[in-house]
């Protein structure tokens, strides 16, 4: 990137992000096959040399999503970016392993959320849900289109859960579902925060029995008309602006039930939110990786007091600390992927733990990069850091607040089988003092009152993260 204030500054656009980020390559690489490492390098080059430019263009003010005649319209660059990512994640000769698929998600997020990685998370979760609990007819109709990159035929998944009065308490939502008599349902109510209003939505509604069911809604009817809904407005959120977030009113939307009505919340958390939370962690890891690369590039290039910034001891120390924190994030994230792929007991604790801890640290590292760069770190036309900072904060908020998810992780860690699995995972790389501190705190936490758990579960989860990230005493 060339800038009038600092002509000739190379920045990080055009880099192969996989090759440039040694922590990611060294930690994730051994978990991939040789072909997987080659493909990751190819995708890293694509992300830095093609995807980054598309996303930068799509985020110019005049190119952001618009609501036109009740439908969301995207610029050509945003559509192209989505097609590329769909092809990379779901295309090719065969399905990717979880580790390789999530590595691509991480690398895509070096460009910021970009309007593409939230839709990726939504679609990924919906594919998994349908593969596990969809009917044969639903799988035949929807899975090929969810995995397609065709701009006309493809479907992207949306997630319409949140209501104004409910927030994280989905059971308090008021949208209703009434049976139509033909196996479908009619939904009535307003969804307050709808991520990615694509063509196929996962949504919640209460049945006449008062239980929260999970439903599938197509945006359009077979004749092309809108399916019983209207978009009330675009949400003016402060980040992740490349994809639309909207308010939607259901006015009798025709929906299909997924699973059984009483399974709605279980399926939502187990099959949809768990995937989204993993993608939130991947996004934060990508934001942090790009921020650290940008900070080093600037420190090596910028002259101050007659020498590069990197030669100033305080700058070098600060940058080394940032890189160590990022390496810990990478280590923790790939521990989580290993647990998920092996279906280990501690996976149920690691997903909410990683969402909470990595998303928080991702925001901190982007901010640290901006502070290290100084005034240029807050210029929109100098680097992607301002956009990444906005995306990182929104990313932290998605899919549950820190106290709620820390409570989920801590509750799981207190289960003996989960604790045993977790300690077996971290014991070799952990410092003795850190390990002893955590095991003592975990034992103590089993005696905490409900109020103490509310106040201290975040402390327990933070100590578990330090073990998972491999930090020594």
Span 154-210, pLDDT tens digits: 788 888 988 887 666 777 788 999 999 999 999 999 999 898 888 899 999 999 999
Give ∠ CA 177-181-184 in degrees, rounded to 5: 50
Which among 68, 18, 64 has a CA at the least distance from the CA of 44? 18
pLDDT band, residue 55 (cuts 50/70/90): very high
Instruction: Name the token pair of 323.
Output: 């890189």
* Dihedrals phi, psi of 289, to nearest 5 degrees: -60, -45
pLDDT exceeding 90 applies to what percent of the chain?
76
Query: Could you tell me where the beta strands, DSSP code E, fall in 83-242?
Result: 157-162, 176-179, 185-195, 200-206, 212-218, 229-234
Angstrom distance (rounded) from CA 244 to CA 252: 23
- The highest-confidence range among 10-14, 83-87, 122-126, 227-231, by mean pLDDT, is 227-231
Q: Please name the residue ranges forming H helices in 343-431.
A: 347-373, 385-397, 402-413, 416-426
Would you state the CATH architecture of domain 17-146?
Answer: Orthogonal Bundle (1.10)
Indicate the pTM of the whole model. 0.94
Tokens of 97: 């392993």
| Model pLDDT, residue 93 | 63
Q: Which ranges in the chain are annotated with CATH 1.20.140.10?
A: 269-468
**Which of these ranges, 104-113, 258-267, 309-318, has the smallest mean pLDDT?**
258-267
How many other CB atoms are found less than 10 A from the CB of residue 189? 19
Give, for 66, the enclosing helix (H) or strand (E). strand 66-68
- What is the β-pairing status of strands 245-258 and 307-308? unpaired
pLDDT in tens, 268-278: 888 888 999 99
**Pairing mode of beta strands 245-258, 229-234:** antiparallel
- Cα–Cα distance, 442 to 461 (Å, whole number): 9
Rounded percentage of the chain residues whose pLDDT exceeds 70: 96
Give me the pLDDT at residue 168, please.
64
Pairing of strands 229-234, 212-218: unpaired
In the chain, where does the domain assigned CATH 2.40.110.20 lie? 157-265
Q: Which residues pair with 186 in a beta bridge?
A: 178, 254
Q: How much is the average pLDDT of 58-74?
A: 93
Q: Taking Cα atoms as reference points, which of 212, 392, 293 lies closest to residue 48?
A: 293
pLDDT at 231: 95
| 1.10.3720.10, 2.60.320.10, 3.40.50.1100, 2.40.110.20: CATH of 157-265 | 2.40.110.20
pLDDT of residue 92: 64
Residue 256 predicted with pLDDT over 80: yes
Mean pLDDT in residue range 102-121: 95
Parallel/antiparallel/unpaired status of strands 157-162 and 200-206 = parallel
Are 366 and 288 in contact by the 8 Å Cβ rule? The answer is: yes
Tens of pLDDT along 342-356? 999 999 999 999 999
Q: Where in the sequence of the chain do the CATH 1.10.540 domains occur?
A: 17-146
Please give the Cα distance from 455 to 466 (Å, whole number): 19
**144-148, 306-310, 458-462: range with lowest mean pLDDT:** 144-148
Mean pLDDT of 405-422: 97
Q: How many CB atoms lie within 10 A of CB 389?
A: 22
Question: Is pLDDT at 2 greater than 50 in this prediction?
Answer: no
H-only helix segments in 47-135:
52-58, 76-90, 98-108, 117-133
Q: Give which of 159, 142, 232 is closest to 194, Cα–Cα.
A: 159
Encoding tokens for residue 173? 């939502």
State in words which class domain 269-468 has: mainly alpha
């Amino acid at each position: 990137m060339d800038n009038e204030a600092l002509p000739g500054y190379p920045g990080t656009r055009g880099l192969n992000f996989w090759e440039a980020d040694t922590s990611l390559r060294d930690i994730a690489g051994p978990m991939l096959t040789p072909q997987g490492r080659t493909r990751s390098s190819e995708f890293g080059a694509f992300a830095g040399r093609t995807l980054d430019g598309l996303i930068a263009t799509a985020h110019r003010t005049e190119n952001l999503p618009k609501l036109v005649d009740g439908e969301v319209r995207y610029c050509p660059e945003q559509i192209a970016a989505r097609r590329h990512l769909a092809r990379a994640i779901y295309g090719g000769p065969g399905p990717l392993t979880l580790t390789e698929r999530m590595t691509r998600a991480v690398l895509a997020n070096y460009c910021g959320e970009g309007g593409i990685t939230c839709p990726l998370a939504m679609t990924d979760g919906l594919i998994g849900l349908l593969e596990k609990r969809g009917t044969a007819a639903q799988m035949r109709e929807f899975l090929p289109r969810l995995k397609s990159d065709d701009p006309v035929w493809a479907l992207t998944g949306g997630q319409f859960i949140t209501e104004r009065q409910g927030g994280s308490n989905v059971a308090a939502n008021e949208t209703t579902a009434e049976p139509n008599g033909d196996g479908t349902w009619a939904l009535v109510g307003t969804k307050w925060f709808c991520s990615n209003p694509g063509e196929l939505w996962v949504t919640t509604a209460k049945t006449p029995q008062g239980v929260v069911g999970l439903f599938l809604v197509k945006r359009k009817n077979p004749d092309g008309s809108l399916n019983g809904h209207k978009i009330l407005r675009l949400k003016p959120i402060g980040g992740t602006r490349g994809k639309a977030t909207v308010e939607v009113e259901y006015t009798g939307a025709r929906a299909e039930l997924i699973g059984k009505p009483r399974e709605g919340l279980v399926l939502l958390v187990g099959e949809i939110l768990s995937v989204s939370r993993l993608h939130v962690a991947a996004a934060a890891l990508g934001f942090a990786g790009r921020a650290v690369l940008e900070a080093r590039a600037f420190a090596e290039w910028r002259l101050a007091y007659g020498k590069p910034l990197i030669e100033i001891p305080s700058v070098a120390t600060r940058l080394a600390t940032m890189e160590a924190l990022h390496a810990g994030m990478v280590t923790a994230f790939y521990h989580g992927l290993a647990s998920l792929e092996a279906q280990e007991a501690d996976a149920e604790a690691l997903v909410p733990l990683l969402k909470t801890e990595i998303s928080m640290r991702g925001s901190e590292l982007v901010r640290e990069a901006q502070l290290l760069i100084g005034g240029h770190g807050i210029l929109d036309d100098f680097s992607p850091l301002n956009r990444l900072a906005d995306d990182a904060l929104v990313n932290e908020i998605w899919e549950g607040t820190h106290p709620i998810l820390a409570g989920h992780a801590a509750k799981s860690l207190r289960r003996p089988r989960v604790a045993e699995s977790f300690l077996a995972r971290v014991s070799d790389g952990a410092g003795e003092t850190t390990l002893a501190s955590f095991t003592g705190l975990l034992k103590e936490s089993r005696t905490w009152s409900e109020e103490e758990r509310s106040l201290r579960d975040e402390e327990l989860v933070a100590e578990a993260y330090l073990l998972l990230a491999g930090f020594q005493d």
